[in-house]
Amino acid sequence: MAKNTATLTDNETGESIELNILHPTQGPKAIDVSQLYKKTGLLTYDPGFMSTASCWSDITYLDGDQGLLEYRGYSIDQLAEKGSFMETCYLLLNGELPNKEELDSFINLVTYHTMLHEQMKRFYSGFRRDAHPMATMVGVVGALSAFYHEYMDIADEKDRYDAAILLIAKMPTIAAWSYRYANGTPFVYPNNNLSYAENFLHMMFSLPSEKYIASPIMVRALEVILITHADHEQNASTSTVRLAGSSEANPFAAIAAGIASLWGPAHGGANEAAVKMLIEISKSKEDVDYFIEKAKDKTNNFRLMGFGHRVYKSYDPRAKIIRDLCHQIIDGGLAKEEHKELLDIAMTLEKVALEDEYFVKRKLYPNVDFYSGIIFLSMGIPLNMFTVMFAMARTIGWISHWHEMMGDNKTRISRPRQLYTGKSHRDYVPLAKR
Ligand code: SDX
């Protein structure tokens, strides 16, 4: 088949160059500009990477127009309905769904690495009690690089896989301890007899003074939340992990960078911001229409948090799954009245927005963060822990992308260029003459 190319002509110089067009398994084709600067001295300019593919990847596929999300070819709907988070982790990291033996040994591997080095506890006591748990998590995960650095040879595939297992295993403990430290309750150690999701709820809510049994509906709801948040191709935090990892930095430090990026309200921090917005609306004397108009008004920075997406220009498939989960929990009588009220407000916001020309024209739909916070509240998880939940789930996505990138011998350090708009050359002026 003839090569698929595009011709670029600089109409100032009249020079042209043939550029190959790359064809992925599915999704948009791409013009290969990797040699453009070398051959023409021209850079490409794409702030925010609106039209830029940064890598090849086999892990996750999104179709923003169709509202499709697939992990290694399996749809998020089927994985959320039929799968477990552990088999989703195995799938994202290894590329295939595990058989029973592979799944059991993977679960064992993760289960027996959930403990933290006892000295890790001291990192928590360095924080104020009112520190945001995302700040604690960034610090403690970064500190893991101090415990697993010496023998971590990232050129060794087995060491890389071990780092992935350690991170998947330890994130729930780190997350739960961030919560326990903030509310002054004693750290609870992992219980190897519990499933991943159940163990997290155990470390979050059990007390020395009374037995805690997690509700099976909440355990399954948490599994679905973990599955739907596990990966999302080259989002800001995953791209951060890839960029940090491209310098061959310690993987724990690279994941800490990803956690920092996820924290922003434009990204994973939107789940906390969305519920704060719903609570503000519930307490306001203004109605939903007032807030819809406010979100459209460019003279203020209010946005409908949990709405809009860089890739999805249709309904985020995860939002649909999580919205249905909200209804199941509320219909199952497992949520408080105030949580039901927040869901009603969210549903009204969604209905009004999706009939409003501003949102329709810009293809703004609810995203993964619009409904998830209502589920977290019904689980007893406080607002400032919402993005910690997202980070715990996304760790498998981050480390799978890191593992894929570091396993590719063509990987080079990521180093974008810029368009310089500063002062041209000028000579130093002595202080006396300024
Ligand atoms: C996540 O990338 C991923 O995959 C992320 C994620 C993942 O799983 O990793 O899916 C998780 O981060 C989901 C997104 C969570 N963030 C929010 O919910 C915050 C609110 N949403 C926005 O800030 C915004 O929609 C973004 C950040 C999500 C997307 O930003 P873009 O793609 O840069 O789009 P934009 O800001 O340029 O918006 C385009 C237009 C603008 O209006 P105009 O300039 O055309 O007039 O839409 C408007 C925006 O003002 N707009 C909104 C809006 N989102 C976009 N207006 C009101 N409310 C909103 N929420």
Query: The whole model's pTM is what?
Result: 0.97
Instruction: Tell how far CA 234 is from the center of its chain.
Output: 10
For the chain, the distance separating the N- and C-terminal CA atoms, rounded to the nearest angstrom, is 66
What's the gap in Å between 133 CA and the centre of ligand 1? Answer: 24
Looking at ligand 1, which residue's alpha carbon is closest to its atom 37? Answer: 310
pLDDT digits (tens, 9 = 90+) for 214-237: 999 999 999 999 999 999 999 999
- Residue-level pLDDT at 123: 94
| pLDDT tier, 1 (very low <50, low <70, confident <90, very high otherwise) | low
Given the residues 202, 369, 401, 403, the one annotated as active site: 369
Please compute the mean of the pLDDT values over residues 327-332 and round it to a whole number: 92
The b/e string for 90-115 (b: 16+ C-beta within 10 A; e otherwise) is bbbbbeebbeeeebeebbebbbebbe
Distances in Å between the Cα of 2 and the Cα atoms of 5, 20, 24, 31, 233 are 9, 11, 17, 16, 30
pLDDT digits (tens, 9 = 90+) for 112-130: 999 999 999 999 999 999 9
Longest distance between any two alpha carbons in the chain, whole Å: 79
Give yes or no: 327 in active site: no
Out of 233, 309, 349, mutate this one to test ligand 1's pocket (max ligand atoms within 8 Å of CB): namely 309
Atom of ligand 1 nearest to the CA of 262: 12
| pLDDT tier, 2 (very low <50, low <70, confident <90, very high otherwise) | confident
The b/e string for 184-206 (b: 16+ C-beta within 10 A; e otherwise) is eeeebebeeebbbbbbbbbbbbb
pLDDT digits (tens, 9 = 90+) for 179-216: 999 999 999 999 999 999 999 999 999 999 998 999 99
pLDDT digits (tens, 9 = 90+) for 386-432: 999 999 999 999 999 999 999 999 999 999 999 999 999 999 999 99
What's the gap in Å between 241 CA and the centre of ligand 1? Answer: 21
Q: Is the pLDDT score of 60 beyond 70?
A: yes
Q: Is the pLDDT score of 297 beyond 70?
A: yes
What's the gap in Å between 362 CA and the centre of ligand 1? Answer: 10
Q: Rounded to whole angstroms, how far apart are CA atoms 338 and 391?
A: 26
Given the residues 132, 202, 229, 309, the one annotated as active site: 309
**Exposure of 256 by Cβ count < 10 A (0-12 exposed, 13-18 middle, 19+ buried)?**
buried
